[in-house]
Amino acid sequence: MKADRTLDCYGLLCPMPIIKTAQEFKKMKIGEVLEVLSTDEGIKSDMPAWCKATGNEFLGLDEKEGEYKVYVRKKIHYE
């Protein structure tokens, strides 16, 4: 999947990947896609839940040997 930006969250545990994603979204335009790189297995459930709660779009997840690539599209404006 093609992303407009990549956010490296390797080594960070919950809730930091979600917090970092929210911070990065403040810099992004609506419609842009963010790739989040993580080693925290919790991101598999945390990111879809965050997207549902905030109105952003969860696009999918790739998992390989304990590393996760999560793709989310910004759908709302952040202040």
The residues annotated as belonging to the active site are 14
What would the two tokens of residue 13 be? 């545990």
- Give the strands of the sheet with 57-64, arranged side by side: 5-9, 33-38, 67-73, 57-64
**Beta strand segments in the chain, E:** 5-9, 33-38, 57-64, 67-73
